[in-house]
Each structure stands twice: as C-alpha cells, then as structure tokens.
C-alpha cells in the first residue's frame, strides 16, 4: 500500500487549477449526474412516508438543491476558518431519514397537521446543527467516544430500519394500501424492474455506468409506470414558476425529546464528514496528516454545521459532505475546487424552479422502492464493514450483539417500552437511538482488553478475518484511519 500522505492517483487538474469554462462545466455536470438522485431522494422518502402534500414535498426538494448549492459554495471557497477548500459537495445526510420518519409518524398518528410536524422536525434540526459547529473544535475527543464499532452499529441500524420503508414503497406505498392495490402485479413488476436494472448496471465494468445505474433505473421505472398509468400529474396545474425560499416557512417549534434523537445522529454525522473529507483529500493528492489536514477537517465540519443551520431554516433536511464525488474525481482525474463553484450555481438555479421539485414528486412509490430496497441494504452492509474494520474481538462482539439485539428488537415491537413516560418512550421506540445509545454506553463501560493479536483474542479475530473475506474488503480500506471508515455508509449509495 502506498504512503497515505503521498497518493499515487493521476490528476489532470489539481486542487487549485482552473480548467477552461466548458471543461469545468462538463466536470460539474458529471458530478451532478452521480449526486443528483441520492441528493433529492431523502426529501422524497420523508415526504412519502409522512404523507406530505405534493406542494410541500416539492418545496422540500427545491430547498435541498438550494441549500446544497449554498453549502458547496462555502466548502470549496473556504471563508476564514470555515470550509475545507476541497471539491466537497454538500448534500442531505441519509442518516436523518429514519429519525425524521419515526418522529413525524408518531406526530401524524396523534393527528398533528403536517406544518406542525415540519416545524418540529426542522426546529430540532436547526438547533442540533449548532452541535456540529461546536464539534469542529473537539474532533479528537469525539473520536475516542464514537469509535468505528459505535458508528458501525448506528449505520447498521439505519440501514436495517430503512429497509421497511423501501419494501413498503416497493409494493406501492401507503397510498396503495389505502386504495387496495398494495402488492399488485403492476407495483411489484415496476419495483422488480428498477431493482434488476440497478443490479445490472452495477455489474458493468464502466465506472460511469455503475455510478449512473440508479438514475438509469429510475428513468426505466418511470417510463414503465407511464405506460401502466401509475404516474399522477394532477398536481402540476397549481405549480408556481419560481420557488422563493422562505425562512421558517412552516414555523419553528422545539421538542427536547425529539432533539435528543436528532442530536445523536448529528454527532455521528461529524465522523462521517471527517471520513468523507479524508477520502476527498486522498484522491485530490492532498495530505491527510499534519496541520493543513487538521485545518481542512475543522473547517469542513464547521461548514457542515453552518450549512445545516441555513438548510433547516430554509426547509431542507440537514446536510453533510458527500462522498460520491470522490469516485468521480478518481474517474475523471479532475480535483479542481473551481468546478465546485459551477456545481453550486447549477444547484441553486435548479432549486429556484419548483417544476423540477414537483417532477420528482410524481415518481411512483414502486420506482423509488425498487432502488431504495437495495440502497438501504447496502447501507446496512456498510455498517457491518465499518464494524469489521475495527476487529471483532470479544469486547466489540459483545457491544455489537447487545446493541443490535435491543435496537432491532425495538423495531420489531416498539410497544415493549410503552411503560416509560412519553418523553422517554419516543426515544425508546426509535431503533437507531436505542442501538446507538447502547453502543456508546457499552463502549464507555466495558474495559478495553489486550491489543489485537493477543493470544486470548485470536479466535474472535479469526471470525473477523472470515467476515472480511466474505465481504471482500480491500486491504487499502482496512488500513485507512478509523475515522475515514465512518464514511462508508455514503460511498455505497
């Protein structure tokens, strides 16, 4: 393995280069093709899961694009200590999807209107973003508390919890359940078509086809849905020409119990951002040790927090640095942060036109379900890989098994902790919260044993090696810093 401080990847344009206009524009479009679908899907998933109106969902999608553009501009330009200065793209953090759905569903079942639901969700997101800003000053301490084992458990729980959302949409979604068409031949057929197209393109040798597989599959599923009459265009007639961002459009409310759920994911997102920034620095031929690297991490995480404050105020889900573009950098050999300015401007421009956001709301549930079922399963696999990267010694096995048992058990029967007061019950019924808190507490309480390779730890490590071989984890990934591995849940989407 090459020295991590001196990467060997060939770049056509280095970080500080300025490609000609048309080459920069082409590079920006290439990045957007790999990023756009996973960028807007979280808003669509939350909108469908909470049964939000088409107008509200379209607004959320538009604000995601505008906030992502603002965040990307801040990251690539670096203002004072804020920003990484790398070609770091900002996008919605998938980790928040499950928490938002769980909190919103509980409020919806109590008969609360969608505007009040969003005011609460975005209110706690707004407040929690300041935790990320503060975390940028204490990164070394967070690493000692949130180890790869802890972050791996949380990522694993996120994937396993979201699979239920994906499979419901696969069968037609909640609207199909109400209409009595859930699981019919049309819905299952479209879902299977999308799933098979994603698998087929991911088996291609071309990196470009692999990255575009999800987008191509969604297009194929959408066309099939048109022929089957599953696409509803009835809401288009009321669509405005331009979307005007309105700060706190849905109001602002704060619930401390909801905040605790979101706060845990915010802290974990800090480590994801560190991993993503480390990976971007590596493929951009930038150092991943020393003062320059540490300043990039601090500035990147600080920008994540500030951008999430802006995003939540505008009506977008929280943002973080994305990792998909790292593959684009490697494929194209272009790491110029100058391209990030083009990406930022294009995203803001697209977000201003509600027709674009509205179009995404017309994607039928089976189309999304076919892609999401696989994507969410891959997130779960990513969590397992993060866990394995730290070894499965006796201590780690106990932490993972206990956290997984309690977290997954709660997802099967949330009523088990109904005896708790309402303020605690909403935490106890969230599988990510239960699994993550269990992992954090056990990680702090269970003493660290002998280092890896000790005689009495040999058998569990053999198990880890077998699992590593089964999952085909490259040697280079195993050698990456622990914090870089926390980005794995983003690279698989």
Q: Residue 72 has what pLDDT?
A: 92
The reply to whether 14 falls in a domain is no
Q: What is the largest CA-CA distance in the chain?
A: 70
The reply to whether 481 falls in a domain is no
How would you write the pLDDT of the chain (493 residues) with one tens digit per residue? 344 444 444 677 888 888 888 888 877 877 776 677 778 878 888 888 888 887 888 888 889 989 999 999 999 988 888 988 888 888 887 778 877 888 888 888 777 888 888 898 999 999 999 999 998 888 777 777 767 788 778 778 877 877 887 888 898 887 788 778 888 999 999 999 999 998 888 788 776 677 667 778 888 999 999 999 888 777 665 666 677 788 888 888 888 888 888 887 888 778 677 767 877 787 788 886 778 878 888 898 999 999 999 999 998 888 888 766 666 676 667 788 888 899 999 999 888 887 776 777 778 889 888 887 887 787 788 778 878 877 788 889 999 999 999 988 888 887 787 787 765 666 677 787 788 888 888 988 888 765 444 444 444 444 444 444 444 444 433 333 343 334 333 333 3
Q: What would the 3-class secondary structure string for 84-119 be?
A: CCCCCCEEECCHHHHHHHHHHHHHHHCCCCHHHHHH
The reply to whether 107 falls in a domain is yes
Report how many domains make up the chain: 1
pTM above 0.75, yes or no: no
The reply to whether 465 falls in a domain is no
In whole angstroms, what is the distance from residue 364 CA to residue 179 CA? 14
Full residue range of the structural domain in which residue 331 is found: 21-235+250-445
In three-state secondary structure terms, 214 is helix
Q: Residue 351 has what pLDDT?
A: 86
In whole angstroms, what is the distance from residue 230 CA to residue 383 CA? 35
Q: Residue 307 has what pLDDT?
A: 92
The reply to whether 1 falls in a domain is no
Residue with tokens 């150092």: 287
Helices (H) and strands (E) counted in the chain, each on its own, are 23, 2
Q: Residue 93 has what pLDDT?
A: 75
The reply to whether 457 falls in a domain is no
Q: Residue 328 has what pLDDT?
A: 67
Handedness of CA 101, 106, 112, 116 (dihedral sign): negative
The reply to whether 477 falls in a domain is no
Contacts of 177 (CB under 8 A, 6+ apart): none
Q: Residue 331 has what pLDDT?
A: 64
In whole angstroms, what is the distance from residue 381 CA to residue 344 CA? 31
Q: Residue 332 has what pLDDT?
A: 66
Q: Residue 66 has what pLDDT?
A: 92
Handedness of CA 58, 174, 370, 156 (dihedral sign): positive
The reply to whether 6 falls in a domain is no
Tell me phi and psi for residue 92, to 5 degrees: -65, 135
Tell me phi and psi for residue 120, to 5 degrees: -75, -45
In three-state secondary structure terms, 79 is strand
Secondary structure of the chain: what % helix, strand, coil (to 5)?
70, 0, 25
């Amino acid at each position: 393995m090459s020295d991590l401080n001196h990467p060997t990847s060939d770049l056509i344009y280095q970080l500080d280069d300025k490609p000609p206009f048309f080459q920069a524009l082409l590079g920006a479009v290439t990045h957007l093709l790999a990023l756009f679908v996973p960028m807007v899907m979280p808003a669509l998933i939350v909108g469908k899961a909470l049964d939000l109106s088409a107008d509200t969902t379209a607004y959320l999608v538009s604000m995601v694009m505008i906030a992502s553009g603002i965040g990307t501009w801040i990251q690539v330009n670096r203002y004072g200590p804020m920003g990484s200065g790398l070609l770091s793209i900002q996008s919605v953090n998938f980790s928040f999807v499950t928490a938002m759905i769980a909190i919103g569903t509980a409020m919806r079942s109590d008969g609360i209107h969608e505007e009040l639901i969003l005011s609460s969700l975005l209110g706690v997101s707004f407040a929690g973003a300041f935790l990320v800003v503060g975390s940028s000053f204490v990164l070394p301490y967070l690493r000692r508390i949130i180890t790869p084992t802890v972050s791996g458990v949380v990522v694993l729980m996120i994937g396993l919890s979201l699979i239920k959302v994906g499979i419901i949409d696969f069968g037609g979604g909640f609207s199909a359940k109400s209409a009595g068409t859930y699981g019919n031949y049309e819905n299952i057929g479209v879902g299977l078509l999308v799933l098979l197209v994603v698998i087929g393109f991911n088996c291609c040798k071309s990196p470009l086809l692999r990255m575009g597989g999800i987008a191509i599959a969604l297009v194929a599923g959408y066309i099939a849905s048109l022929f089957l009459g599953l696409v509803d265009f009835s809401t288009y007639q009321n669509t405005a020409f331009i979307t005007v961002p309105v700060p706190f459009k849905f109001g602002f409310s704060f619930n401390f119990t909801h905040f605790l759920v979101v706060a845990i994911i915010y802290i974990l997102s800090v480590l994801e951002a560190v991993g993503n920034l480390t990976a971007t620095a590596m493929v951009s031929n930038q150092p991943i040790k020393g003062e320059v690297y540490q300043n990039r991490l601090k500035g990147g995480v600080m920008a994540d927090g500030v951008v999430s404050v802006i995003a939540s105020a505008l009506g977008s889900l929280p943002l973080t640095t994305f990792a998909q573009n790292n593959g684009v950098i490697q494929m194209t050999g272009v790491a110029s942060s100058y391209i990030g300015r083009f990406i930022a401007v294009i995203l803001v421009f697209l977000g201003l036109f509600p027709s674009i956001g509205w179009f995404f709301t017309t994607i039928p549930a089976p189309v999304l379900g076919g892609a999401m079922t696989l994507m969410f399963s891959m997130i779960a696999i990513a969590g397992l890989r993060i866990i394995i990267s730290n070894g499965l010694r006796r201590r780690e096995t106990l932490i993972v098994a206990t956290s997984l048992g309690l977290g997954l058990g709660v997802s099967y029967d949330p009523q088990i902790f109904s005896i708790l007061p309402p303020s605690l019950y909403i935490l106890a019924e969230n599988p990510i919260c239960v699994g993550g808190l269990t992992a954090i507490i056990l990680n702090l309480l269970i003493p660290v044993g002998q280092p890896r390779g000790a005689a009495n730890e040999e058998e569990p490590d053999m198990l880890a090696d077998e699992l590593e071989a089964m999952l085909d984890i490259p040697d280079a990934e195993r050698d990456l810093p622990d914090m870089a591995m926390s980005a794995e849940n983003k690279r698989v989407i």
